[in-house]
Amino acid sequence: MKVIRKPRYVDPSKCTGCGLCAQYCPVESIDSYNAGMGIVPGIFVEYQQAVPLIYTINRDVCIGCGLCAQYCEADAVDYTQKERTDVLDIGAVIIATGTETYDVEPLTEYGYGRYRNVVSSIEFERILSASGPFRGLVLRPSDGVEPKSVAFIQCVGSRSLVKGNEYCSSACCMYAVKEAVVAKEHLHGLDISIFFMDIRAYGKDFDKYVERAKDSGVKFIRSRVSNIKENENTKDLRITYESDDGKMQTNTFGMVVLSHGLCTPPSSSELAEKLGVELDRFGFCRTGEFTPLETSQPGIFVSGTFQGPKDIPETVMQSSGASALSSELLVTERGSLITKAEYPPKIDVMGIGPRIGVFVCYCGINIGGYVDVPAVSKYVESLEGVVFVDTNLFTCSQDSQETIKQKIIEHKLNRVVVASCTPRTHEPLFQETCESAGLNRYLFSMANIRDQCSWVHMQTKEKATEKAKDLVRMTVAKARLLEPLERLTFDLTKRGLVIGGGLAGMTAALGLARQGYETILVERENELGGNLTHIHYTLAGEDVQELLKSLRKQIKDEPKITVHMNSEITEITGFIGNYKTKIKDKDTGKESETENGIVIVATGGKENKPTEYLYGKNEKVITQQELEVKLALNSQLSTPKSIVMIQCVGSRENEKPYCSRYCCSQAVKNALKIKEKFPEASVYVLYRDIRTYGTKEVYYNKAREKGILFIHYDEDKKPIVTEKNGVINVVLKDPVLKRDLSIDCDYLVLSPGMVPQEDNETYAKMLKVPLNQDGFFLEAHMKLRPVDFATDGIYMCGICHSPKMLDESISQANAAVSRACTILSKDRIQAEGTIAHVDIYKCAACGTCEAVCTYGAVKVVENETRTGIERYAEVTEALCKGCGACASSCRMSAIDIKGYADKDIVAMIDNF
Amino acid sequence: MSRFQYPPNIEIVRVPCVSRVNPLFILRSLQHGADGVLVAGCYPGECNYSTGNLYARRKLLMLKSYLEYLGLEKGRFQCAWLSSAEAERFVKIAKATIESVRKLGPAKKLVRNKFNRD
């Protein structure tokens, strides 16, 4: 594969990210990171937190004056760099090119581009950002005044058959609600209205967020806005819309935000053509419902919004999943490109007093221009324990590393301090240098005299110099106390345990086996399949029972998978890489014990049993799942004349406040099936919000085309169901006709949503991992780590995380495989160096540390010691992240963090 | 990166997480001549270690009321919650903290004898 690398015109190995070049650059360009609302110099970094921090010249605006090259102390600017073509030898490709936001300018009715106070949601996002064009103040672009009211208009360029795209962009409802909440936080008393068609808060805990927004005063108005007019004098914007009671209303807003959807850019179709990958009619990558990560080209995978519009958690899941499928192909090559770092033997520092070497950096003029570096270095010489001081123009440069190495050996240094920039970017480099000289990497400490001193005290040079001395003195005080730390390593069992044999569990087990790892699959029922056993067809018409059959066969044929049917787990002990699991056969009561290195939880969920609307009292009242079985097995449904479906039954209200995500699509699917089998039948779907997100919207439109009637009801005006002489009657208020509708029906079909399995609680306790309020497992981070638990070595997938569609379960299961392989592919588990340590003679075994540890890394244990049976806290080194929550909570000061010990921090405090 | 300027009489002690801050560190600082202490952590809910800042907040706010009960002037010990991307907010907080400590003058409470300025 050939890859074109565009030139940066800056040598990345030399650029220190100091930013001097940007200060002197005479030209400006539009800041695309701030949605065009700011300006950046011609030589720039995209945003402040960029890692690596390397500048790039924008040659579209660059006039080639050479000022940046002249001012660059590191000599990194190189105008002669050329576009480079690299030929890569690769075995798999993942396309993750994403989407663009829909261009709203052609939708003239919204006035975008004509009225300055009509902004896009991306622009508003940047306006709200502390690093944005207005530094986080909510201001109108027209006059820079705080608006009193803001309107959000949803579905701009989405869900439209006339203008824009037919599909739902999936993310806009939630980002609009988020922006509304943040705007209200930034500007108290701001009046916000969101104009929407359906609020699609279908994701995990999304509905709770919407409710919180409502509580904080954000108004939700169900109405599609047809146009916006600007008041020429005040630049306020007038919106006319139809209110709930059918009357036309006009409101004036200070600002309007257009929630524009996602669409694929032309460049992605060019890329698809080059790679020979098929696209669907919207320009998204074509994937199968059961192969959501595979493109039409074998070996090429896809993740993220290029596969279809989606939110962050699904994108993250898909990306991990795609990497699992790619590495499956490359399993024989695993680790073949790794070169192991070779280090000289460790210098023994025990019993020798501190011999500290301090390296003070000029950072060109970044430090040197504002801090008197020679004065600082002279002062440092006087500090206790310091035997060597040097200054460097750039301590981070390659030749400086050599110098540091030499000086360590020459002066027998056993502690190294670098006074330069931020440890966030440079600490690992210097630690590596120490290690290459034979010095333990934890005998290094860093003083930040650039970001925390020279850059922020430019006008007071003398005081800045004094502060730099203070900072170095504090760091040297800490360095005197540093001890070498070992990163402990542990054996690991290269075997996986998957709990639950539904779609997610089966997919995960197969994935692990294909990565080359033995896998134990535990299922509570007598057969594999879980919810798949009740599903017969998908929205697009795929045969689910065929999938089930094929999965069962693949598992049976896979020698690496051991299945325990009709079994439950009675005990899991141990930690990452080293679990011991007891599995009990429910029939025989026999227990077997196995060892495994990771755990994937895939316990699933089940359809809730409704208690309302005559369910269980009348056999014609059934759930969607029951209807699907009846539809699939033809004989079970007598020709119906009229069928009513009620959505959100016992769902999205008091006891179960969450949305189950799949029910709207399931209702549309079943309604279409009824129309296919019984074209004469009338089908009514009574809904609160139709949540056919993404390209599922197409089927919602198709259902409406076919004459299926969708009627909205409010939570407080639920339909009334009665039975008279065997006929079921449904009465509800029609929001369009403004009168009561009475429908007699042959079947009443309820969408009761999904509930978690009861044994989730047992497993949560066993694995010491949390559940959310609704009984689903709680991930480490809602957006960025949707598969991981906070505890390393345990992962989740499928409905036990939250209700989801088949393709999403498959993606998440593959993601869990990918995450598990990050552990299983290692030879040994390595713990961090800076971790908690317990002095068992001080420990009172109160358990506070255990209670505050998010990672389950500290436990109170009972052990026999020299003085008899003793209870004390014990740290599982492999799990500890060294945050220090335990150390600062310990009332006996018995637990401490190596490298950030109480004594280290106190030494800094005492020396400030 | 943003290089907003703030007064130089504020020294920084780096910790892995705000939850590492033992209340004793604050007492130690005040004993050893700091006129004020500012503890800055991530926004609640945005902790790199999931919940560390929530424990820290509970502990430090309790310490704060305890110190005020002991007679330490309001404003000498402050907590702030912000993101690492919010340079301007940090500067604002740093300036405000220094300003409020400056108004109070040198600290006298809790200061150990050899540092006692009386």
Instruction: Tell me the chain A residues in contact with residue B50 when contact means C-beta distances shorter than 8 Å.
Output: 780-781, 790, 854
According to DSSP, the β-strands at A895-897 and A836-838 are antiparallel
Host H or E run for residue B39: strand B37-41
Let me know whether A114 and A242 are in one domain.
yes
Q: What percent of chain A has pLDDT over 70?
A: 100
Neighboring chain A residues of B38 at a CB cutoff of 8 Å: none
**Interchain contact, B11 vs A457, CB within 8 Å:** no
Smallest Cβ–Cβ distance between A790 and the set B9, B50, B55 belongs to B50
* Cα B21 from Cα B82, distance rounded (Å): 16
Whether residues A119 and A62 share a domain: the answer is no
Residues A888, B23: C-beta atoms closer than 8 Å: yes
Residues 14-43 of B with CB under 8 A from A: 14-17, 19-25, 28-29, 32, 34
Q: Domain for residue A841, yes or no?
A: yes
Residue A540 located in a structural domain: yes
Same domain, A749 and A789: no
Q: Classify burial at A671, counting beta carbons within 10 Å of its beta carbon; exposed 0-12, middle 13-18, buried 19 or more.
A: buried
Per-residue pLDDT for A33 more than 50?
yes
The answer to whether residue B114 scores a pLDDT higher than 70 is no
**Position B87 in a domain:** yes
Q: From A234, A263, A292, give the residue that closes a domain.
A: A263
Tell me whether residues A902 and B24 touch, CB distance under 8 A.
yes
- CATH number for the domain spanning A422: value is 3.40.50
Task: Write the single-letter amino acid at A590.
Answer: K
CB contact under 8 A, A854 and B50: yes
Range of the domain at A39: 1-89
Residue A858 has pLDDT above 90, yes or no: yes
Cis peptide before A735 (omega within 30 of 0): no
A109 and A197 together in one domain: yes
Report pLDDT for B117. 45
Residue B88 lies inside a defined structural domain of this protein: yes
Rounded Cα gap, residues A830 and A359, in angstroms: 30
Work out the angle at residue A703's Cα, subtended by the Cα atoms of residues A698 and A708, and round it to the nearest 5 degrees: 155
Q: Is A900 part of the contact surface with chain B (CB cutoff 8 Å)?
A: yes
User: b/e map of A635-653 (b: 16 or more CB within 10 Å)?
Assistant: eebeebebbbbbbbbbbbe
Radius of gyration over alpha carbons of chain B, in Å? 14
- Mean pLDDT of the A567-593 span: 94
Contacts of residue A466 in chain B, CB cutoff 8 Å?
A: 8
pLDDT at A824: 96
Q: Burial-class residue A866 by CB neighbours within 10 Å (0-12, 13-18, 19+).
A: exposed
| A707-730 mean pLDDT | 92
Residue A897 has pLDDT above 90, yes or no: yes
A444: left (phi over 0), alpha (psi -120 to 50) or beta: beta
Through-space distance between the first and last CA atoms of chain B, rounded to whole angstroms: 41
- Record: contact A887-B22, CB cut-off 8 A: yes
Please state the rounded mean pLDDT for residues A834-849: 93
In-domain check, residue B89: yes
Domain interval for residue B86:
18-107
pLDDT at residue number B101? 94
Q: In terms of C-beta density within 10 A (0-12 exposed, 13-18 middle, 19 or more buried), how is residue A689 classed?
A: buried
Q: Are residues A663 and A522 in the same domain?
A: no
Number of structural domains, chain B? Answer: 1
By CA distance, what is B45's nearest residue in A? A781
User: What pLDDT score was predicted for residue B85?
Assistant: 76
Strand partners, A502: A529
Asked whether residue A305 is assigned to any structural domain, the reply reads: no
Determine the pLDDT at residue A665.
Answer: 96
Name the closest residue on chain A to residue B51, using Cα atoms: A854
Residues in chain A closer than 8 A to B91 (CB atoms): 456
Least confident range of A186-195, A338-347, A459-468, A575-584: A338-347
Residue A890: inside a domain: yes
Contact B8 A885 (CB under 8 A): no
| Angle of helix A461-481 versus helix A902-910 axis, rounded to 10 | 150
Alpha carbon of A141 to those of A133, A154, A227, A313: distances in Å? Answer: 10, 21, 20, 32
Give the pLDDT mean for B25-34: 92
The answer to whether residue B100 is domain-embedded is yes
Q: Is the pLDDT of residue A690 over 50?
A: yes
Give the Cα separation of A543 and A531 in Å (integer): 14
Q: How far is A309 from chain B (nearest CA, A)?
A: 26
Does residue B4 belong to any structural domain of this protein?
Answer: no
Percentage of chain A with pLDDT > 90? 78
DSSP string, A742-801: EEEESEEEE---EEE-TTHHHHHHHHT--B-TTSSBPPSBTTTBSSB-SSTTEEE-GGGT
CA distance A125 to A45: 20
> Are A106 and A251 in a shared domain?
yes
Report the domain count for chain A. 6
**Where a domain ends, among A452, A481, A510?**
A481
Contacting residues of A for B56, CB less than 8 Å apart: 885, 888
What is the mean predicted confidence (pLDDT) over A543-557? 97
Task: Please indicate, yes or no, if residue B1 is contained in any of the structural domains.
Answer: no
Q: Specify the pLDDT at position A277.
A: 96
Q: How many contacts does A have with B, using Cβ atoms within 8 A?
A: 129
For residue range A740-756, what is the model confidence (pLDDT) as tens digits? Answer: 999 999 999 999 999 99
From the CA of A455, how many Å to the nearest CA of chain B?
5
The answer on A664 and A631 residing in a single domain is yes
Q: What SS3 string covers A663-731? A: HHHHHHHHHHHHHHHCCCCEEEEEECCCCCCHHHHHHHHHHHHCCCEEEECCCCCCCEEEEECCEEEEE
Report yes or no on B114 lying in a domain.
no
- pLDDT tens figures, A475-492: 999 999 999 999 889 999
Q: What pLDDT score does B1 carry?
A: 47
Same domain as A853, residue A785: no
Q: How confident is the model at residue A710 (pLDDT cuts 50, 70, 90)?
A: very high
Whether residues A653 and A701 fall in one domain? yes
Mean pLDDT of B46-57: 89
What integer pLDDT is reported at residue B89 of this predicted model?
A: 86
Residue in chain A lying closest to B7 (CA): A457
CATH of the domain at A711: 3.50.50.60
A882 shares contact with chain B (CB less than 8 Å): yes
Instruction: Tell me how close the Cα of B71 comes to any Cα of chain A, in angstroms.
Output: 22
Choose among A408, A431, A417, A434: nearest CA to A383: A417
Cβ-defined contact of B88 to A455 (cutoff 8 Å): no
Tokens of A266: 């032309």
Say whether residue B60 is in contact with chain A using an 8 A CB cutoff: no
Is residue A613 included in any domain, yes or no? yes
Could you tell me if A673 and A694 lie in one domain?
yes
pLDDT, chain A, mean: 93
ipTM of predicted complex: 0.91
Q: What is the CATH number of the domain that holds A856?
A: 3.30.70.20
Nearest to B50 among A780, A882, A912 (CB): A780
Q: What is the pLDDT of residues A359-379, one digit of tens each?
A: 999 988 889 989 999 999 999
Residue B5 within a domain: no
Give yes or no for residue A736 having a pLDDT over 80.
no
CB contact under 8 A, A456 and B4: yes
Does residue A619 lie in a domain region? yes
Burial of residue A824, with CB atoms counted within 10 A of its CB: 0-12 exposed, 13-18 middle, 19 or more buried: buried
* Secondary structure class of A186 (helix, strand, coil): helix
Mean pLDDT over A66-84 rounds to 91
Share of chain B above pLDDT 70, in %: 93
Sort out which chain A residues have CB atoms less than 8 A from B22's CB and list them. Answer: 887-888, 902, 905
Section A502-525 average pLDDT: 97
Question: If pLDDT is split at 50, 70 and 90, which confidence band does A108 have?
Answer: confident
What is the model's pLDDT at position A243?
79
Length of chain A in terms of residues written:
912
Span A645-653, average pLDDT: 93
Residues of B in contact with A881 (CB under 8 A): 49
Mutate to test the interface with B, among A883, A890, A905 (most CBs of B within 10 A): A883
Question: Minimal Cα–Cα distance from B99 to chain A, Å?
Answer: 16
Tokens (6 digits) for A354:
């501190």
Per the CB < 8 Å rule, is B59 touching A902? no
Nearest to A881 among B4, B25, B49 (CB): B49
**pLDDT reported for residue A220:** 95
Question: pLDDT at residue A639 above 90?
Answer: no
Residue A31 φ/ψ, nearest 5 degrees: -80, 95
Q: Are residues A848 and A806 in the same domain?
A: no
Answer whether B19 sits within 8 Å of A902, measured CB to CB: no
Cα dihedral sign, B4-B5-B10-B13: positive
pLDDT of residue B116: 47
Shared domain for A822 and A863, answered yes or no, is no
Contacts of A383 (CB under 8 A, 6+ apart): A356, A472, A473, A476
Compute the distance between CA of residue A367 and CA of residue A421 in angstroms, rounded to an integer.
9
Q: Which two tokens stand for residue B11?
A: 């020294």
Residue A298 lies in a domain: no
**A910: nearest CA in chain B?**
B32
User: Which of A446, A481, A516 delimits the end of a domain?
Assistant: A481
**SS3 state at A505:** helix
For residues A321 and B117, what is the distance between their CA atoms, to the nearest angstrom? 64
The rounded distance, in Å, linking the Cα atoms of A518 and A495 is 5
Within 8 A of B85 by CB-CB distance, chain A residues are 48-49, 129-131
Interatomic CA distance for residues A493 and B24, integer angstroms:
42
* 8 Å CB contact of B3 and A909: no
pLDDT at A635 over 70: no
User: Does A252 fall in a domain?
Assistant: yes
